[in-house]
Structure 1
């Protein structure tokens, strides 16, 4: 009886020791946070054109910003559809540490403030610079996700998005080359060195009598 009791205790201890073994850390690429990171940006950038309701950076930049908003709306809708039909699992958990979340929120608030309160050349510069950063990040993120295990089944679409983001980025770089961030030429001021014309002394006029 005692031997049977000790055997049962030993078996229980072995089971418990097996349960308490440290599990290996999750390998990179095995958790689908990439889609959540992408959606976090695209769901905000799809509304970037609303800034044009109160700010006017010029027709070329405005058209570019509208194209960016339209494309990010397309990406966001597709990500939501994949989440709804079970193709992807996560659009909410970014798996970021609190310090990174706080840094992101601070950077976003500063950029928004710059866009709301800067004018003319400063507005155009901040708008183009912030959008180039966003486009580059989304392009790199799509490229990376397409090469991870959970992204490989959607690689074709993700690679198309890489190309589209890069095209929008190239357009923004071209706007800089064209001088769209430069201040508008100022209206020439009147030359104060010139004296007003005395109509009484112009040809054909009647000057004072010379006696």
Structure 2
């Protein structure tokens, strides 16, 4: 089979399956077995498998032994294509890209912090406080503090309750990791970073959306200076 035709056929099947999901053509949240689905759509099993694999990678489907193929909740679907983002991030960083990444982060993280201040559950606020405590205690180990910072950022993003912001936030994290895998900042610089996070965390604890947004914007501005100094 011609490769171009096969690729086009896979895309068509992907669209047909998604359309069926949206229209409620399948029983509950379960898809028919691939053998039945491939016959229904008039394609080979290999084409069907490839289409299903694409939908799994986009977090639309979940396949498990014995239970079959399940449609995941729409809030879990990947709106942003992480594969394309990862390809771009694997390229050599340049000043224009770094500035773009910083500006993108300014669109995502301050808004997430503001939402977290008003939407976070008691459990999420406790988790954010715990992650911040871990960050404070990780000062001596660059790898540990990077992991602690990532965990705190993720806790804040999750507490925003916004699935789109969460997906954009993961792109930001991926981007920062690609250009600054493990920062070896001096102790004073790290203490300043921790203090900036402390302002964000306190504002979230107080339910102060404007304060959380402003504190996160300040944190990003300070960390951007270091990022550009280290990588450009």
For the superposition of Structure 1 and Structure 2, which TM-score range results when normalised by the shorter chain? under 0.3
Q: Going by fraction, where is helix more abundant, 1 or 2? A: 2
Decide which structure has the larger Cα Rg and report it: 1
User: Structure 2 length normalisation: TM-score?
Assistant: 0.25
